[in-house]
Structure 1
Amino acid sequence: MARSTWCTDQLRDALRSFVVQFLARPDGVLVLDETAFLKKGRMSAGVAPQYAGITGQIENCQVAVFCAYASDTGRALIDRELYLPAAWCQDAGRCRTARIPKPRAKAVVTKPKLGRRMVERCRRAKVPFGWMAADSAYGQDRKLRSALERRRIPYVMAVPVDETVSTHGTGSLRVDKLAARIPLIFERRSCGKGAKGLRSYDWALAEVTWPGGAENGPRRGCIHLLLVRRSITDPAQIAYFAVHAKVSTPIGEIVRVMGLRWSIEDCFETAKSDCGLDHYEVRTWDAWHRHITLSMAALAFLTITDTRSRDLEDPTEPVQLPAPSDLTRVLEKGGRRAALKN
Structure 2
Amino acid sequence: MALRLLGVGPHAQRQVRALQQFIGEGKWDDDALLAEHQRLVNETLGEEDGVLIVDGSDFPKHGSHSVGVAPQWCGNTGKKDNCQAGVFLGYASRKGATLLDRCLYLPESWFGEDHRTLWQDCQIPDKVPFQTKHELAAQLVEGIMASGRLQAQWVVCDEGYGDSPAFLQRLDATGLWYLAEVPRDTKVWPLLEIDGQTPRDRPSSWVPPQTRSRKGPVPQRERLHPSSPAKVPLEDLAKQWPASRWQRYRLLEGHKGPLVADFLVLRALLPLDRLPGPEVWVVIRRKVSGSAEEPEWKFYLSNAPLEIPLATFVRVSGMRWPIETCFAECKGELGMDHYELRFWRGWHHHMTMVILAHHFLVRWQQRLNQREGDLAPNNDTPLAHAR
TM range (shorter): 0.7 to 0.9
In terms of Rg, which structure is larger?
2
Contact 2:154 2:178 in 1 (8 A): yes
2:136 matches 1:95: no
Give the equivalent residue in structure 2 for 1:141.
164
Equivalent position to 1:165, from 151, 165, 188: 188
Runs of 4+ in 1 over 3 A off after TM superposition: 168-171, 181-184, 190-199, 215-218
Q: 1:121 to 1:176 in 2, by over 3 A?
A: same
- Kindly state the Cα deviation for residue 160 of structure 1 after the two structures are TM-superposed: 0.7
Give the equivalent residue in structure 2 for 1:300.
359
Contact 1:166 1:208 in 2 (8 A): yes
Return the letter of the residue paired with 1:92: R
2:283 matches 1:227: yes
Give the equivalent residue in structure 1 for 2:95.
73
- Kindly state the Cα deviation for residue 3 of structure 1 after the two structures are TM-superposed: 2.9
Equivalent position to 1:282, from 319, 336, 341: 341
Q: Which runs of 5+ in 2 are unaligned?
A: 1-22, 192-199, 201-228, 372-387
Contact 2:180 2:300 in 1 (8 A): yes
Alignment: residue pair count: 305
Contact 1:225 1:243 in 2 (8 A): yes
Structure 1 distance, partners of 2:68, 2:294, is 41
Equivalent position to 1:207, from 267, 281, 302: 267
Contact 2:262 2:288 in 1 (8 A): yes
Q: Percent identity?
A: 32
Equivalent position to 1:291, from 324, 330, 350: 350
Q: 3-state DSSP class of the match of 1:310? A: coil
Structure 2 distance, partners of 1:46, 1:63, is 8
Q: Comparing 284-293 with 176-185, which one deviates more in the overlay?
A: 176-185
- Kindly state the Cα deviation for residue 50 of structure 1 after the two structures are TM-superposed: 0.6
Contact 2:142 2:174 in 1 (8 A): no
Give the equivalent residue in structure 1 for 2:173.
150
Give the equivalent residue in structure 2 for 1:334.
none
- Kindly state the Cα deviation for residue 40 of structure 1 after the two structures are TM-superposed: 0.5
Contact 2:25 2:343 in 1 (8 A): no
Structure 2 distance, partners of 1:283, 1:194, is 41
- Kindly state the Cα deviation for residue 173 of structure 1 after the two structures are TM-superposed: 1.9
List aligned pairs for 1:239-278, cutoff 5 A.
239-278=298-337
- Kindly state the Cα deviation for residue 84 of structure 1 after the two structures are TM-superposed: 0.3
Question: CA deviation digits over 1:132-165, x for unaligned, max 9?
Answer: 0000011111111111223332111111112111
Contact 2:270 2:276 in 1 (8 A): no
Contact 1:145 1:212 in 2 (8 A): no
CA RMSD of aligned residues (A): 2.1
